[in-house]
Homo-oligomer: A and B are copies of this chain.
Amino acid sequence: MMRANRGLSELRSISFEPNIMKYAEGSCLVKFGNTHVICTASVEDKVPPFLRNKGMGWVTAEYSMLPRSTNTRIERESSKGKLSGRTQEIQRLIGRALRAIIVPKKLGERQIHIDCDVIQADGGTRTSSICGGYIALAIACKKLIFERVIHQSPIIDSVAAISCGIVDGTLMADLDYNEDSNAHVDANFVMTGAGKLVEVQATGEDGPFTNDHMNALMLMASNAIKIITKKQAEVLAEVDFDQ
């Protein structure tokens, strides 16, 4: 199987547009091809009950899709009155990914909410949310330092994520919705800028896969994440509060 417009290990066109939201402490519109997600970081001077009086901060994430972000309109979870299992799984994943690069002590007793709202979905919404959520989080932390609320960044590395999979026997990176729907193996990798793994989730619902496949997917993801990491660093270098 070939791809019409890009190589098998090639990413879609990606972009990070920082500071697109007027009120949020940090924000970013992230695009992976036709997948567009607004990520915001909101700083709150209060931590969840289990962390109170411990001098530590917390990062948490929420995820949602606009009803018409997809080809067929999906019902709002606010109208249904509960979050689906899929939504909860995704927002737990985003939260874990971002907490992996944070030193809670350095954040002090404050919580940062990362909201990821999918405006348009074409596969890879959870990995895009992690990539864009990192930018929003990093900007919010820069702002806290600039405003002398904290003195050292709680961020110790960058973090990014990508999906890779096997479609019709072919390995490929950064699956779009159509590829994802036809994938026999669907894997999501979260890695730090330093090249370490934070989270691996690989699923072969239509049938199992081999260790060799797993290793090949891991390698492909690792290369993709290097490219995203570079892009993230460039974007953040441009964000400046000092002027």
- Which residue on chain B has the smallest CB distance to residue A43? B73
Instruction: Determine which of B81, B196, B202 lies in contact with A208 in the assembled complex, contact meaning CB atoms within 8 Å.
Output: B196
Asked whether A234 is an interface residue with its Cβ less than 8 Å from the other chain, the reply is no
Most buried by B among A23, A40, A70, A71: A23
Q: List residues of A (1-57) whose CB comes within 8 Å of B's CBs.
A: 21-24, 27, 34, 38, 40, 42, 44
Separation in Å of the A145 CB from the closest CB of chain B? 20
Measured between beta carbons, the chain B residues less than 8 angstroms from A81 are: 81-82
Asked whether A233 is an interface residue with its Cβ less than 8 Å from the other chain, the reply is no
Asked whether A89 is an interface residue with its Cβ less than 8 Å from the other chain, the reply is yes
Question: A78-B83, A214-B197 are contacts. A67–B40 as well, Cβ < 8 Å?
Answer: yes
**Bound complex: CA A21 to CA B203 (Å):** 31
**Bound complex: CA A9 to CA B205 (Å):** 27
Number of interface residues of A (CB under 8 A): 70
Measured between beta carbons, the chain B residues less than 8 angstroms from A204 are: 100, 196-199
Question: A34-B22, A196-B209, A200-B201 are contacts. A78–B64 as well, Cβ < 8 Å?
Answer: yes
Measured between beta carbons, the chain B residues less than 8 angstroms from A192 are: 208
User: Which chain A residues have a beta carbon within 8 Å of chain B's beta carbons?
Assistant: 21-24, 27, 34, 38, 40, 42, 44, 62, 64, 66-71, 73, 76-89, 91-92, 96, 99-100, 113, 115, 117, 119-120, 122, 157, 187, 191-192, 194, 196-211, 213-215, 218, 222
